[in-house]
Amino acid sequence: MTALVGIAAPNREADLTAMLTKISYRGSAASIFPNSSTTIGLLLPDHLKRAAANPDIFEASAGRGHFAAASLNGADLKLTRDLVGFAPLYYGHDAQGVLIFASEVKALLPYSQEVYELQPGATLADGRLIPPPIPAAVELLSMPPEEIAAELRSILDQAVKSRADTAPHFGGLLSGGLDSSVVVALARPYREKMHTFAAGVVGAPDLHYARLAAEFLKTEHHERSVTLPEMLAVLPDVIYHMETFDALLLRSSILHYLAAQQAIDYVPALFSGEGGDELFAGYDYLKTLPLTQLSEELEDITGRLHNTALQRVDRCIQAHGITGWVPILDPDVMAFASRIPVEYKLHQGVEKWILRQVAEPLLPVEIVHRPKAKFWQGGGVSDLLANHANLVISDRDFFAERRLPNGWTLHSKEELFYYRIFKEHFGELERLDWLGRTKGAPVQYPAV
């Protein structure tokens, strides 16, 4: 991933430099491009160079089809973002009413307290917000499932290869789940040596299955076992980079952050397996829905990824100056997945059935048929953080503090515990339009 910042006014190099400094961890090479109407900056990792084909397009890219871009046509500025929203982009206006934008909110807050997220697929041009295009109707595949699986593997392999070709070496975040293991298995043949990384509480299922996958695929595996005190120690850094206090998202982000941290000395880029659950029906609750409602629900949760799993991948990997790749959400993979009948995604009670057919020749049977576990559950976090929050925050404090200045209500003591740290970093903001929250998060009610 790279970073994009900009101010829709000339001669703002000093402000732009300050904005780039706020998120300097996202890239080692900073460039500023001033012109008569706009001042734009890019942060790039060492292994990437800005394409010079069109000097009026400035893009923060995360692999094929994943981007946030600013383009100039004379003095006209247009901001765009990819359809799934892996590459983040936020915007606001400074005290003079000048449009400013950046890949992270922290770069904008010194200039504007009213920050907005550019939604996936949306465009901002001439002060006008253009919503994402309405998806066209698709024709479902009528071929046998074994042919669908073979074609899906081919498209996934191309999505992996297209990213692998952009870096001299790379690694993979490996939880031992189906999605991350399939991605690592497909990436493995493209390098003589590949590093993989996992993190979890001592004895966590993810550590066991990740080790199993790594041994089978013959990767150089790096494992980090963590304790509650270690998670609490790193939590302020995670909240700073994640820019959220969403409890369920932060639970998984801590392990993601610690797993990616191990990669600093080894690789400039990491593969991750996000998207499999949303495209191929991986969540257990989906089994309770009628098949007639499944496609709509998958579309809905895929549309929320930019504020959940993709935000986690981007921020936790970029915090360490590493590029993140999510090939399962490659545009070609997503387009093909949308045409797969839902009965091949959730088949006879088996979630991600068609993806398991892809995985069978690539991975050990224990991983191919491993049930889905949320990242924070598989990593062993379980209720450790929630229990800690319940101990340190009283019912009275929860009742008094759970209502935020913008009218939101915090769901739990755990979320209040995170919000207090969030407030130390970013202040008590009255506008949180840019901050997404997990759908269906459980609500804890105060006793007083």
pLDDT at residue 50 tops 80: no
Q: Which of 44-48, 78-82, 138-142, 395-399 has the lowest mean pLDDT?
A: 44-48
Q: Give the containing element (helix H, strand E) for 29.
A: strand 29-34
Say if strands 323-325 and 269-271 run parallel, antiparallel, or are unpaired.
parallel
Residues 83 and 184 in one domain: no
Residues 157 and 45 in one domain: no
Q: Coil, strand or helix: which one is 395?
A: helix
Do 400 and 394 touch, CB atoms closer than 8 A? Answer: no
Q: Which of 361, 381, 352 is nearest to 178 (CA)?
A: 352
Give CA angle at 234 (232, 238), nearest 5°. Answer: 110
Q: What is the band of 444 on the pLDDT scale with cuts at 50, 70, 90? A: confident
pLDDT at position 395: 94
pTM beyond 0.85 = yes
Domain with 34 in it: 3-125
* Nearest-angstrom CA–CA distance, 314 and 326: 10
Structural domain contains residue 245 = yes
* Nearest-angstrom CA–CA distance, 187 and 180: 11
pLDDT at position 52: 41
**Number of domain units in the chain:** 2
Q: Which residue has the higher pLDDT, 29 or 157?
A: 157
pLDDT at residue 370 tops 50: yes
Residues 44 and 161 in one domain: no
Other beta carbons within 10 angstroms of residue 195's beta carbon come to 21
DSSP track, 146-214: HHHHHHHHHHHHHHHHHHHTTSS--EEE--SSHHHHHHHHHHGGGSSS-EEEEEEETT-HHHHHHHHHH
Q: What is the band of 19 on the pLDDT scale with cuts at 50, 70, 90? A: very high
Residues 152 and 211 in one domain: yes
Mean pLDDT of 6-35: 93
Mean pLDDT of 402-430: 96
Residues 6 or more apart from 270 whose CB is under 8 A from it?
170, 171, 172, 173, 197, 260, 263, 317, 322, 323, 324, 325
pLDDT at position 28: 82
Residues 343 and 373 in one domain: yes
Q: Which of 189-193, 309-313, 367-371 has the lowest mean pLDDT?
A: 367-371
Residues 77 and 156 in one domain: no
Structural domain contains residue 66 = yes
* Nearest-angstrom CA–CA distance, 107 and 100: 10
Structural domain contains residue 217 = yes
Q: Is 91 left (phi over 0), alpha (psi -120 to 50) or beta?
A: beta
CATH code, domain carrying 22: 3.60.20.10
Residues 121 and 192 in one domain: no
pLDDT at position 376: 52
For residue range 358-367, list pLDDT tens digits in order: 999 999 999 9
Structural domain contains residue 116 = yes
Structural domain contains residue 402 = no
pLDDT, the chain, mean: 93
Structural domain contains residue 413 = no
Do 409 and 378 touch, CB atoms closer than 8 A? Answer: no
pLDDT at position 47: 60
- Express as a percent the part of the chain with pLDDT over 90: 83
Q: Give the containing element (helix H, strand E) for 297.
A: helix 291-303
Half-sphere exposure of 100 (CA within 13 A, CB side): 26
At 323, the amino acid letter reads T
Q: Is 275 left (phi over 0), alpha (psi -120 to 50) or beta?
A: left
Residues 341 and 245 in one domain: yes
Structural domain contains residue 197 = yes
For residue range 261-318, list pLDDT tens digits in order: 999 999 999 999 999 999 999 999 999 999 999 999 999 999 999 999 999 999 999 9
Residues 151 and 279 in one domain: yes
Do 26 and 1 touch, CB atoms closer than 8 A? Answer: yes
At 383, the amino acid letter reads D
* Nearest-angstrom CA–CA distance, 344 and 340: 7
pLDDT at position 55: 67
Residues 75 and 168 in one domain: no
Q: Which residue, of 64, 96, 125, is where some domain finishes?
A: 125
Q: In the structure encoding, which two tokens stand for residue 13, read together?
A: 């190099």
Phi, psi of 81 (to 5 degrees): -145, 150
Do 97 and 62 touch, CB atoms closer than 8 A? Answer: no
Q: Which of 317, 314, 325, 247 is nearest to 89 (CA)?
A: 314
pLDDT at residue 53 tops 70: no
Q: Which of 27, 32, 66 is nearest to 47 (CA)?
A: 27
pLDDT at position 381: 80
- Express as a percent the part of the chain with pLDDT over 70: 95
Other beta carbons within 10 angstroms of residue 383's beta carbon come to 13
Q: What is the band of 374 on the pLDDT scale with cuts at 50, 70, 90? A: low
* Nearest-angstrom CA–CA distance, 340 and 202: 39
Residues 224 and 355 in one domain: yes
Q: What is the band of 81 on the pLDDT scale with cuts at 50, 70, 90? A: very high
Q: What is the band of 203 on the pLDDT scale with cuts at 50, 70, 90? A: confident
pLDDT at residue 59 tops 60: yes
Structural domain contains residue 398 = no
pLDDT at residue 1 tops 60: no
User: What's the N-to-C CA distance of the chain in angstroms?
Assistant: 46
Residues 253 and 203 in one domain: yes
* Nearest-angstrom CA–CA distance, 86 and 68: 9
